[in-house]
Amino acid sequence: MTFGNLERLAAARRISRREFVQQSLLLGTAAGVALGRFDRAMAAAPQRGGTFRQALTGGSSGDVLDPAKILDSYMINVSFGQLRNCLTEVAPDGSLRGELAEEWEASEDATQWRFRLRKGVEFHNGRSLAIQDVIASFNHHRNEDTGSAAAGIVEAITDIRADGDWVVFDLSGGNADFPFICSDYHLAICPATDEGSIDWQSGVGTGGYMLENFDPGVNTITKRFDGYWKEDAAFFDSVENLFISDVAARTNGLRSNELDSIANLDLKTLHLLKRDPDINVVPTNGNKHCTLPMHCDAAPFDNVDVRLAIKYAVNREEMLEKILKGLGEVGNDSPIGPANIYRATAEEMPQRPYDPDKAKWHLQQAGMEGLAVTLHTADSAFEGAVDAAELLSQSARAAGMDVTVQRDPDDGYWSNVWLVKPWCASYWGGRPTEDWMFSQVYSAGADWNESHWDNPRFNELLVQARAELDESRRREMYVEMQRLCSDDGGALIPIFMAYTQAVRGNVGLPDQLANNWELDGHRNAERWWFNG
């Protein structure tokens, strides 16, 4: 036994104060020193109790508890982070681990996946989790009448059935990432009804908190579920989730101790928040990124040299510092970010620099020296989008390029500009797997292919990599696909944006925060606690 082992036992609450001191004396440590070390170890350990008050964004008076209709951060946090669980979950280190499923296995061609459910899991109403709940929950999104936002990611499922203790999914094609798909917040498991549908209206789930009150667009109150199957999770007695869209109101609420946590900080006043000794600012770098997609089927962007000229004409480092205050990292015109496991290294895909001379060369190759183009943007495209567009316009002048920034109305931007104008501003939260991101946004014919890009080699690799179970071969394919995006694709991706959040000093945080979403992967209510 070492003193370090003693401290770990104390932090895990597996040893009493008296036992700690007795063992410390045997190791030759003074009693006073031992007591101080014990108290610090206990303070660092998660503790139960208290009401956690958090301000969330992305809420609406039209919010519903139906997992098929959840689209934004407020309901993701409430439904996925508090009320319900999925078959799998993304761990803080980015790996995949079982949640309601204990284990899973695939056929050789990855067209069939089998999941064995965890024993002893109960819903908030006391009923035990059963395979039929999983089948009904997935079929809810496969039903066309549901209008599920997850219809696209379950489209490949041809059949779901029970096989003893296992639930079996048959797919129309091989998909090595299917267990990752099962971690999607839409695919949270709800109790099945006798008719074969699901009960989403009550908010009953298997999560760490039970629904107490739901006032859409205002607040949601949840209470800890004492029967939660995860022993070391859901430490708060209750959680008060407030929808506060105004960033100044969120910030003031945190500073005045009316809130314990806020997300999406005001970067322009972030330096003031950092000076407050009672507040901890905790950014996390994930896959959230801004894009400036060019329609590859519309002149002049149908010329790859024009696309490359524009990519070399942006000063990414300047944009990172001036727009994001350094909270993020430069992009390399690929959507695969730091939370993805197959992201290309700097050796595999060198960073594209700001190079006006090279931009000029590509314009000459295209026969378009002195190119004049219009970039459409709005504040709603992403935080700082208008300022970012102006910076690009300034940096492009050194390449002899005239970029006119067209500021469009925020109202209707996503219906009137995005996917409509040949060059505009956009952003993505990213996806946990490469295939997920590529399939939804970069494959030919995808509904959200915002750059109208169609690269035959990329589309071929997409199908091959999806079904490939060999990790090294998959990596080679995905790295090549990232290079194709960067060198041929229509998306200029200059910066990845950190998720920004801040908490009161008495909020305990784990050593590592998940970066697949904001607020510890939207599992903060389950993973955080109050100190003291």
**CATH number of the structural domain spanning residue 526:** 3.40.190.10
From first CA to last CA, the distance across the chain in angstroms is: 28
Angle at 184 between CA 512 and CA 382, to 5 degrees: 75
Residue 59 lies in a domain: no
Q: Please provide the DSSP assignment of 410-439 as one string.
A: STTHHHHTTTTSSBB-EEE---SSHHHHHH
* Residues 347 and 429 grouped into a single domain: yes
Q: What confidence tier does 278 reach under pLDDT thresholds 50, 70, 90?
A: very high
* Residues 397 and 491 grouped into a single domain: yes
Domain count, the chain: 4
Angle at 381 between CA 379 and CA 387, to 5 degrees: 50
Judged by average pLDDT, the poorest of 143-152, 207-216, 254-263, 322-331 is: 143-152
* Residues 376 and 423 grouped into a single domain: yes
134, 155, 187: which is the final residue of a domain?
A: 187
* Residues 159 and 172 grouped into a single domain: yes
Structure tokens belonging to residue 88: 């799998």
Domain of 162 in residue numbering reads as: 85-187
**Statement: residue 518 has pLDDT above 70:** yes
**pLDDT for res 44:** 66
* Residues 318 and 338 grouped into a single domain: yes
Angle at 107 between CA 106 and CA 109, to 5 degrees: 115
Q: What are phi and psi of 158, to 5 degrees?
A: -100, -20
Give mean pLDDT, residues 135-152: 94
Q: Distances from the Cα of 102 to the Cαs of 99, 117, 207, 335, in angstroms?
A: 7, 6, 16, 31
* Residues 512 and 483 grouped into a single domain: no
**Statement: residue 8 has pLDDT above 70:** no
**Statement: residue 43 has pLDDT above 70:** no
**pLDDT for res 10:** 52
| Residue 86: strand, helix, or coil | coil
**pLDDT for res 436:** 92
Task: State the chain's maximal CA–CA distance in angstroms.
Answer: 82
pLDDT tens-digit series, residues 68-87: 999 889 999 999 999 999 99
Residue 77 lies in a domain: no
- How many Cβ atoms from other residues are within 10 Å of residue 289's Cβ? 24
Q: What confidence tier does 93 reach under pLDDT thresholds 50, 70, 90?
A: very high
* E-state strands within 300-422: 328-330, 372-377, 402-407
Residue 440 lies in a domain: yes
* Residues 332 and 405 grouped into a single domain: yes
Dist CA 319 CA 285 (whole Å): 16
Structure tokens belonging to residue 463: 């199908």
Of 366, 385, 354, 377, give the one whose Cα is nearest residue 423.
Answer: 377
Dist CA 80 CA 418 (whole Å): 28
Angle between helices 304-312 and 356-366 (to 10 degrees): 170
| Residue 244: strand, helix, or coil | coil
Domain harbouring 369, CATH code: 3.10.105.10
* E-state strands within 442-483: none
Q: What confidence tier does 15 reach under pLDDT thresholds 50, 70, 90?
A: low
Of 129, 141, 98, give the one whose Cα is nearest residue 206.
Answer: 129
Who's near 182: CB < 8 A, 6+ residues apart?
86, 87, 88, 101, 115
* Residues 309 and 376 grouped into a single domain: yes
Residue 54 lies in a domain: no
* Residues 278 and 296 grouped into a single domain: no
* Residues 365 and 253 grouped into a single domain: no
| DSSP class of 495 | E
* Residues 399 and 514 grouped into a single domain: no
Domain harbouring 97, CATH code: 3.90.76.10
123, 156, 187: which is the final residue of a domain?
A: 187
Residue 56 lies in a domain: no
| Residue 170: strand, helix, or coil | strand
* Residues 492 and 422 grouped into a single domain: yes
Residue 71 lies in a domain: no
Residue 178 lies in a domain: yes
Mean residue pLDDT of the chain comes to 92
pLDDT tens-digit series, residues 182-236: 999 999 999 999 999 999 999 999 999 999 999 999 999 999 999 999 999 999 9
**pLDDT for res 25:** 60
Residue 67 lies in a domain: no
